[in-house]
């Protein structure tokens, strides 16, 4: 898919799905970005439709924040593909190549940083979903909760790439720092989703 233009979002949804099913890339990172972006769209749906029934400055601020997050999140699908391809290129270098080790460590850093960046934006999207619950009319709340669940699942999915690649970072300190960030994001996401679902059931 990347060879056809470089922008995953320009392809049909069915093409993306079928490519995920058959090709090495897009992988779980890019798929997680798409899922998170759709989840955020469901949260924004609840806010936008509620805003149509009665304008509110706080709600409008949440809409604008959500749109900003959506704009920043979407490009990470292609960034994830590029990071993985660079990592695999480094892995595939001749083992006798003196530069292979440094190239592998550098590629691993990007292969860890992109999913962490994605997870941080998912974290911000979950926090937005939590804030938004007080500003979404009851008939649209199920969409927002479904969106939060998608974002939560995407966050946990993309963190699998951190777990998979952290061991190639080149130092125990970098590995431990990445895993610490992974654990913190995962625990925060679980707490946020629990609060969102509990509030929705009240």
For residue 97, the tally of other CB atoms under 10 A from its CB is 11
Predicted confidence at residue 98, as pLDDT, reads 80
For residue 115, the tally of other CB atoms under 10 A from its CB is 32
Q: What is the mean pLDDT of residues 156-161?
A: 96
The verdict on residue 104 lying in a domain is yes
The verdict on residue 2 lying in a domain is no
| All residues at 6 or more sequence positions from 137 whose CB lies less than 8 Å from its CB, including other chains | 46, 49, 50, 53
| All residues at 6 or more sequence positions from 97 whose CB lies less than 8 Å from its CB, including other chains | none
CA 78 from centre of chain: 12
Predicted confidence at residue 6, as pLDDT, reads 53
The verdict on residue 4 lying in a domain is no
The verdict on residue 5 lying in a domain is no
Predicted confidence at residue 194, as pLDDT, reads 96
Q: What is the mean pLDDT of residues 138-156?
A: 97
When divided into structural domains, the chain yields a total of: 1
What is the pLDDT of the chain when averaged over all its residues? 92
The verdict on residue 1 lying in a domain is no
CATH number assigned to the domain comprising residue 116: 1.20.120.680
The verdict on residue 41 lying in a domain is yes
Give pLDDT tens digits for 86-131.
988 888 888 888 888 888 888 999 999 999 999 999 999 999 999 9
- pLDDT above 80 (res 5): no
Predicted confidence at residue 191, as pLDDT, reads 97
Q: Which two tokens stand for residue 27?
A: 């992988």
Residue 173 structural domain: 10-201
Cα–Cα distance for residue pair 57/51, rounded to 1 Å: 9
The verdict on residue 3 lying in a domain is no
């Amino acid at each position: 898919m990347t060879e056809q233009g470089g922008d995953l979002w320009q392809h049909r949804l069915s093409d993306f799905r079928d490519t995920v099913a058959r090709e090495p890339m897009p992988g779980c990172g890019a798929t997680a970005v798409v899922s998170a972006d759709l989840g955020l769209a469901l949260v924004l749906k609840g806010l936008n439709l509620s805003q149509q029934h009665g304008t509110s400055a706080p709600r409008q601020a949440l809409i604008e924040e959500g749109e900003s997050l959506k704009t920043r999140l979407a490009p990470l699908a292609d960034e994830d593909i590029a990071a993985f391809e660079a990592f695999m290129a480094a892995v595939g270098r001749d083992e006798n190549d003196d530069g292979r080790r440094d190239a592998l460590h550098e590629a691993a850093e990007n292969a860890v940083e992109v999913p962490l960046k994605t997870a941080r934006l998912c974290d911000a999207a979950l926090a937005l979903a939590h804030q938004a619950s007080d500003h979404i009319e009851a008939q649209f709340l199920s969409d927002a909760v479904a969106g939060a669940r998608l974002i939560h699942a995407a966050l946990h999915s993309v963190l699998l790439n951190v777990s998979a690649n952290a061991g190639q970072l080149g130092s125990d300190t970098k590995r431990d720092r990445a895993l610490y960030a992974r654990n913190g994001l995962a625990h925060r996401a679980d707490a946020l989703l629990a609060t969102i679902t509990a509030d929705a059931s009240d």
